[in-house]
Amino acid sequence: MLNSIQYRSSRFGSFFLGLSAGMALLLAQPAIAQEYPKKTIKWIVPYGAGGASDILARLLGEQIGAELKQQIIIENRPGAGGTIGTAALAKAPADGYTLATADNSTLFNNWHLFNNLNYRQNDFEYVATTVHLPLLLIVNTESNVTNYQEWLEWVKQSPNKISYASPGIGSPHHIAMETLSDREKINMVHVPYRGDAAAMTDLVGGQIQTALVGVANARQYQNDPRVRFLAVTWPSRLSSTPNVPTFEELGVKDFRGSAEQGIIMPAGVPKEIVNRWNAEITKALEIPAVREKLEVLGMYPVASTPEAFKSYVDERAKQAGEIIRKSGITVN
């Protein structure tokens, strides 16, 4: 009996000690947020230097670093569709001093493309959206297609004979075209490239017949007689391509085909720090000079609360899973 009482006392003592520690942590969080940041912050970009993700991180990092009065170091950790850099974030301390860029691959698609990810969706705090990158539906003019309805009929008349390009298997462009194909009940042959620029070069040259291409890489060809722009994956027409209708205008409702980016941190970062970063990102994206630079790169700011961002990620991850399973997309 004595041993039993001693054992239960020990258990209750541990419980109260744990409870006290938890309360102390909760009480300390506002103080942590007030003192934050006290040292250099690391921003992981899970892709190579010079790409859209890297440019955006450096642009925002410079603005936000000045506001926080701390240096923000950009660390490129490319490889395996963004999984290497994302895994590094999952292992980082939850103190607010490490964050990472996340995009369609790391937010929605990789959960369904890779079987061996050593992290989970709930290993992260979803801090803020940053930008969306609309895609343009483009066709080589040798097809004699002049608008979206003609494109649709052209593809339907030649099932599995027309080739479309994307910057890689499982890329936002690939998933978007498969989503469009599923909705319109059409079948094409996917040809993956190493990036948008290479895909656009072959589309102009006639080696590929059609593609969804990022605005930054496509815009320079909008007056080229060898290609025609048919539609854009954005709620409204873009100022850079004002004659190109939106999919919404063409009757394709709620087609989410943009490349998208946001910011994530390790799970457990104090809510006050998450909210601070959300506010700083939103503020930086509202600066006219920043918006102008982003638009040149085909990036359009999209702000959200952390809660709205997480809800959106959950919804899009489910949709991505459905189309990846339907299309039989696999990553070798």
> Domain limits of the chain?
36-132+259-327, 135-232
Give the residue with greater pLDDT, 236 vs 4.
236
pLDDT reading at 235 higher than 60:
yes
Amino acid at 235: P
> What's the pLDDT tens digit per position in 206-224?
999 999 999 999 989 999 9
Position 31 confidence tier, pLDDT thresholds 50, 70, 90: low
What is the pLDDT of the chain when averaged over all its residues? 89
Q: Cα(311)–Cα(299) distance, rounded to whole angstroms?
A: 22
**What was the pLDDT predicted at 118?**
87
Listed residue (193, 54, 168, 184) closest to 110, CA to CA: 168
Q: Say if residues 73 and 42 touch (Cβ distance below 8 Å).
A: yes
Architecture in CATH for domain 36-132+259-327: 3-Layer(aba) Sandwich (3.40)
| Nearest by Cα to 184 from 251, 112, 104, 258 | 251
Q: Taking the chain, what is the end-to-end CA distance rounded to the nearest angstrom?
A: 62
Q: Residues 254-313: pLDDT tens digits?
A: 898 999 999 999 999 999 999 999 999 999 999 999 999 999 899 999 999 999 999 999
Which pLDDT belongs to residue 19? 43
What's the pLDDT at 195? 85
Decide if pLDDT at 24 tops 90: no
User: In Å, how far are 249, 251, 298, 304 from 215, measured between CA atoms?
Assistant: 18, 21, 5, 23
* 3-class SS of residue 81: helix
Q: Are 196 and 167 in contact (CB under 8 A)?
A: yes
| Domain 135-232: assigned CATH number | 3.40.190.10
Whether residue 1 has pLDDT greater than 50: no
83 vs 88: CA distance, rounded Å: 9
pLDDT at 30: 56
> Token pair of 179, please?
């989503």
Of residues 59, 52, 54, 36, the one with CA closest to residue 44: 54
- pLDDT, residue 289, reads 94
pLDDT at 20: 42
Look up tokens 């943009």; give the residue. 258
- Residue 95 confidence (pLDDT): 97
- Residue entry with tokens 């899973």: 321
pLDDT score at 22: 44
At 32, the pLDDT band (50, 70, 90 cuts) reads low
Judge whether residue 28 has pLDDT over 80. no
Q: What percentage of the chain has pLDDT greater than the value 70? A: 89
- Can 36-132+259-327 and 135-232 be said to share one CATH topology? yes
Query: Percent of the chain scored above 90 by pLDDT?
Result: 80
- Per residue in 109-134, pLDDT (tens digit) is 999 999 888 899 999 999 999 999 99
196 vs 211: CA distance, rounded Å: 10
| Residue 156, pLDDT above cutoff 60 | yes
pLDDT digits (tens, 9 = 90+) for 49-83: 988 899 999 999 999 999 999 999 999 999 988 99
Q: Which two structure tokens, joined as six digits, stand for 291?
A: 């918006």
CB 309 within 8 Å of CB 129: yes
The pair of structure tokens assigned to 244 is: 């190109």
Question: Which stretches within the chain are classed as H helix?
Answer: 2-35, 52-68, 83-90, 104, 110-113, 148-157, 172-184, 196-205, 215-218, 271-285, 288-296, 306-327
